[in-house]
Structure 1
Amino acid sequence: MPVYLIADVKVTDDKWLPSYAATVHGLVHRHGGKYLARSANVKTLEGRPLDATLVALIEFPSAEAATAFTGDPDYAPFAMARQRGSESRLHLIDDTDVAGAIAYLPKG
């Protein structure tokens, strides 16, 4: 079952960004992931804004693949650099429909 990693990031020190952007894409791909979006065009349409500088949406083939990526020792220095230079959150969601009313989504 596919899962989606959503990263909302408020950059506080951008020194980590060039190396992260150049390298992490390959690490995501190594774990079967693909970026669906990696954007700084963040607009809140309803509710309190996330206060994010950028949001990334990455699809992985499974939760195991996503956690293998975040736990990859090769990713660790990039994760630490991101954590030092930002306020960030990583969210993992699956493709289920919690209300069970959308026919093409698995019931969650």
Structure 2
Amino acid sequence: MPVYLIAEVTVTDDAWVPGYAARVHDIAAKHGGRYLSRSGNIETIEGTPLNSTLIALIEFPSREAVSAFANDPEYAPFAEGRQKGSVSNFHVIDDTDLAGGIPYLPKG
């Protein structure tokens, strides 16, 4: 079942950004990850605006693939740089419909 990693990042020191942007895409792809968006164009249409610099949305084939990506030793130095130079929140959601009313999504 596909899952989606939502990475909400507020950059506090951008020294890590060029290396991360250049290499992490390939590391995610190694685990079946496919970036759907990596954007700083964030518009709040309802609720409290986010203080995020960027939000990335990455599709993975499974939760196990997300874990393999997050725990990949090749990713570790990039994660460490991001963690030191940002406030980051990473969330994983699946493609289920909790209410069960959307026919093309599995019921959650």
**Under a length normalisation based on structure 1, what TM-score does the superposition of the two structures give?**
0.98
Q: Please report how far the alpha carbon of residue 49 of structure 1 lies from its aligned counterpart in structure 2 after TM superposition.
A: 1.6
Counterparts in 2 of 1:37-52, with a 5 A limit? 37-52=37-52
Amino acid at match of 1:99: A
Q: Distance in 2 between matches of 1:72 and 1:17?
A: 19
Structure 1 residues 62-94: Cα deviation after superposition (integer angstroms, max 9, x where no partner): 010011000111101100100000000000000
Moved over 2 A (4+): none
Q: Distance in 2 between matches of 1:72 and 1:49?
A: 33
- Structure 1 gaps of 5+ residues are none
Residue matched to 2:77 = 77
Equivalent position SS for 2:25: helix
Q: Please report how far the alpha carbon of residue 28 of structure 1 lies from its aligned counterpart in structure 2 after TM superposition.
A: 0.5
Structure 1 residues 34-82: Cα deviation after superposition (integer angstroms, max 9, x where no partner): 0000001011111012210000000000010011000111101100100
Equivalent position SS for 2:4: strand
- Structure 2 gaps of 5+ residues are none
Q: Distance in 2 between matches of 1:7 and 1:24?
A: 13
Equivalent position SS for 2:100: coil
Equivalent position SS for 1:65: helix
Amino acid at match of 1:10: T
**Under a length normalisation based on structure 2, what TM-score does the superposition of the two structures give?**
0.98
Q: What's the RMSD between the two structures over aligned residues? A: 0.5
